Amino acid sequence: MSGYWVDVAAVGFFVIEWVAYAITLEHSAYGRDSLSARMNRYREVWVRRLLERETRMVDMQIMASLQNGTAFFASTSLIALGGALALLHATNDALVILSKLPIDLSPAPALWELKCVGLVLICVYAFFKFAWAYRLFNYVAILFGGMPPAHLRDTPEAEAHVLRTTRLFESAGRHFNRGQRAFFFALGYLGWFLGPLPLAVTTAGVVIVMWRRQFASAARLAFEADGGKPPQRALRPSPSRRRSAPRS
């Protein structure tokens, strides 16, 4: 019975690490300094500069590439889901193979199936996140197409459209990030197939890797070159430009 409690503790550690990392990254002051948070600021920069351009074909091409990348990950999550279901179906074969290893790692059949079910749930979660992100990117593309013309950029309607588009854009990126986070934690979850201690080790390793990419990677440090702030002129129109802008 004690062995099962060790597994429960390891899975509890896995869940706590996932939830704590997500809350810290998305809902804390510390997370506002992450790579994802800084990229969110540039989403607004992009939308405001899009508003100033009459020709927006390049912007739509970039959006199409974002959609294609999201569709790729959604398809990959379905493939991973199929692999997890196949692993669940092949419980007996997997246990026979594990029992023949130099170190017997074969758990009870019920525990093995429970591990497979957990992996299936992670893949399902990732698919829903990527699928919803793909849909949100479609909505953002529609809002890009409905962007007011450049000569109306200083109107209240244009400002409201920019804010609306930016919020939806940030939501799409947030759900995409959650799907990728599920992929990373799925890799850590695979450690449970070797035992509770490997699960704790792989989970900690995944959290360290993701933290480093968000706060200490070369990509994150690239924002320190200009103080880490997006161009201020692109965020809000200057008062002088508002006075001199032509009205239709």
DSSP annotation of 236: S
pLDDT, residue 142, reads: 92
Three-state SS letters, 141-168: HHHHHCCCCHHHCCCHHHHHHHHHHHHH
Q: Are 133 and 175 in contact (CB under 8 A)?
A: yes
DSSP designation for 192: G
Per-residue pLDDT of the chain (248 residues; tens, 9 = 90+): 456 788 899 999 999 999 999 999 999 999 888 999 988 889 999 999 988 888 888 888 989 999 999 999 999 999 999 999 988 888 777 777 767 666 666 677 788 888 999 999 999 999 999 999 999 999 999 999 889 998 888 899 999 999 999 999 999 999 999 999 999 999 999 999 888 999 999 999 999 999 999 999 998 888 876 655 655 544 555 444 444 444 43
**Are the CB atoms for 230 and 37 separated by under 8 Å?**
no
* Per-residue pLDDT, 109: 79
The pTM for the full model equals: 0.84
